[in-house]
Structure 1
Amino acid sequence: MSNEPFTQLVDAHYEALYRFALSLARNASDAGDLVQQTFFIWATKGDSLRDTAKAKSWLFTTLYREFLRGRRRDGRITAIEDLAPAERDVAAAEVDRVASLDAATVMVALQEVEEVFRVPLTLFYLQNFSYQEIASLLDVPIGTVMSRISRGKARLRAFFAQEDHAERTKVVPFAGQRGLSHS
């Protein structure tokens, strides 16, 4: 494989792959390792891909599978079926605060959502994959993707509602209480 096409591939997809890896791994070092491993696999096997237009999907699929392989090896993977019934279907909060949120706040909230929901949310909203592409990438039915995205959004709404409630109930001491007369 010549260096120029590989360099172009890395330049075109590194940032998006790294963001996806960071949303999965939750730390920069592991995310960097996942991206590096993904490009290593591409360098050794990527030339077998017949349709180069599918390189992006191939890279994301490979990264996700490498992440799962590492998680299985570490014994830390959680399937949706393993979640308690109350955690599987969270009621949506009344208020949708999305319009007033900045990207950093959303990324922090996304890290609070379980991996089983965070992955399809990230692929759909941050990487602009279609439901069908996500289903293919995760090797699950399209209905499962739709359900996980819906439940993931509900989790995010619940997180923001909880944060909003915590912010409203925070007690702030009033420093200027001296000198006030109570008549």
Structure 2
Amino acid sequence: MSAHNAVMTGIATYLNRLWRYGLVLSGNRTAAEDLVQATCVRALEKSHQFEPGTRLDRWLFSILHSIWLNERRAERYRRGEGLVDPESALIFDGIKEIETNILARRVLREVQSLPEAQRETVFLVYVEGLTYREAAEILAVPIGTIMSRLAGARAKLAWLAADQSGAETKRER
């Protein structure tokens, strides 16, 4: 299969993941959609650069991140317009316990409050399941920077684990 055909057939598989990453980066639904559209166009234009047999998702994430950085440098997003409320972005299938919903909202709110570099690193490694090396390549930073960002994010979010274990201890009594 040619590189162009691999990109053409594989791109639809990653649209939701690309949109989520665009949303994590921009915090704006419309901007996320625009980022995904620009990523698809650029991927198709540059499909000859894709190496079949390598991970298409990594390549697409790199393109999206590059577009986002370029757009960010060119113009700043209008402040406060179209920002996504992290709580409204939660969608649960089926009935979940109220405590689970509350904890999930708290986790999402705390992750959204992380500095941008930590937030995008947490997303790529913990949500998308990329390796440290893959995240480093997408973000164009050394692997040590990825490790440092994740350590900082874990330290800032450590209260969640302590708070959750305290809640479970109270229920067991």
TM-score where L is the length of structure 2: 0.69
* 1:1-80 alignment, distance < 5 Å: 8-74=9-75
2:123 maps to which residue? 122
CA distance in 2, matches of 1:68, 1:157: 30
Gaps of 5+ in 1: 77-98, 165-183
Q: Deviations over 1:92-119 (max 9, x none)?
A: xxxxxxx966544433322211111111
Q: Which amino acid aligns with 2:123?
A: T
Checking the alignment, whether the CA contact within 8 Å between 2:6 and 2:52 is kept in structure 1 is no
How far did 1:124 drift?
Answer: 0.3
How far did 1:67 drift?
Answer: 0.9
Q: Which amino acid aligns with 2:13?
A: A
Checking the alignment, whether the CA contact within 8 Å between 2:36 and 2:64 is kept in structure 1 is yes
Question: 3-state DSSP class of the match of 1:32?
Answer: helix
CA distance in 1, matches of 2:25, 2:106: 17
Question: 3-state DSSP class of the match of 1:53?
Answer: coil
Checking the alignment, whether the CA contact within 8 Å between 1:134 and 1:145 is kept in structure 2 is yes
How far did 1:75 drift?
Answer: 5.7
Aligned length: 140
How far did 1:152 drift?
Answer: 1.6
TM-score where L is the length of structure 1: 0.65
CA distance in 2, matches of 1:6, 1:142: 27
Give the share of equivalent positions with the same residue, in percent. Answer: 29
How far did 1:28 drift?
Answer: 0.5
Q: Which amino acid aligns with 2:154?
A: K
Counterparts in 2 of 1:74 and 1:154: CA distance versus 1, 3 Å = farther
Q: Select the structure of larger CA radius of gyration.
A: 1
Question: 3-state DSSP class of the match of 2:13?
Answer: helix
Gaps of 5+ in 2: 78-98, 165-173
How far did 1:154 drift?
Answer: 2.1
CA distance in 2, matches of 1:50, 1:10: 14
